[in-house]
Amino acid sequence: MRLLGQPAYVLHARPWRETSLLLEVLTAEHGRMGLVARGVHGPRRQALRAALQPLQHIRFDAVQRGELAHLNAAEAIDAAPRLQGEAMLAGFYVNELLLRLAPRQDPQPELYALYGELRARLGAGEPLAWTLRRFERDLLDALGVGFDLAHDGDSVPLDPAARYRLDPEQGPHRVRGERDGERSRSATGRALLALAADDAPPPPEELGGLRRVLREVLVAHLGARPLTSWQLMADLGRLTTQGGGIRS
């Protein structure tokens, strides 16, 4: 299959052999794709290498051969946001989530649009904790495994003053005691309702609860192998005090 002028976001790039790259990109028409870019090293290929870096928005031509497509040409559509510090780690985290959860060769126009919005928010310097919680919510919805955050599993509206955990299949369920540290692994109904309504972010102490309950859902879908970005953030000690920050 020949692909011409296909827009995509670069999620990951790593060296392959002496002069090539193996890429993972996210497209609207074909979902996540693996690409082989040959002969990208050398002074005359500098512009191409720059266009094939993570977070870059590109347009490419390729020929699909088996699981991987062979890249024939690529150009940058725009300049990737220049992220530093925690924003850069947030971009790494989002890309790793998509690498693990987005299916290959499955059209994902909604996910493609969400990634573009997330990229713009990171570039604009919007609050990281709230930006990531909104993306995690929308990612689950786009993959067909999200749920109503304004009602519990019995369709009862959430109580803003109560606390809830998120069941990966049934959604919010109320925490009625302190047993087994459930309170520390829960979020307030107020915070969940704010996320459901895409309202103004809750206070920092409540954002931390959102991080914890959403992470439990993500772990259930990721399986036994944790994200490298989670460990990297912990190892580097880049843990913020504002609602858990990028420790998602």
| Range from 29-33, 132-136, 177-181 carrying the lowest mean pLDDT | 177-181
Residue 161 lies in a domain: yes
192 and 114 within one domain: yes
The 10s digit of each residue's pLDDT in 67-77 is: 899 999 999 99
Residue 24 lies in a domain: yes
**Cβ–Cβ < 8 Å for 247, 214:** no
117 and 9 within one domain: no
d(CA 204, CA 225): 29
pLDDT of residue 211: 92
| Range from 3-17, 34-48, 50-64 carrying the lowest mean pLDDT | 34-48
For position 187, which CATH number holds?
1.20.1440.120
pLDDT at 239 over 50: no
Query: Does 46 or 9 have the greater pLDDT score?
Result: 9
Domains in the chain, number: 2
DSSP string, 164-224: EEEETTTEEEEE-S-GGGGGGG-EEHHHHHHHHTT-SPPPHHHHHHHHHHHHHHHHHHH-S
Q: If DSSP codes are grouped into helix, strand and coil, which group holds residue 83? A: coil
pLDDT at 147 over 90: yes
Residue 174 lies in a domain: yes
**Mean pLDDT of the region 47-57:** 90
Report the percentage of the chain scoring pLDDT > 90: 71
Residue 159 lies in a domain: yes
Q: If DSSP codes are grouped into helix, strand and coil, which group holds residue 247? A: coil
pTM: 0.90
The 10s digit of each residue's pLDDT in 84-101 is: 988 999 999 999 999 999
Give the CA count within 13 Å in the CB-facing half-sphere of 227: 27
The 10s digit of each residue's pLDDT in 154-173 is: 999 999 999 999 999 999 99
Owning domain of residue 30? 2-76
pLDDT at 192 over 90: yes
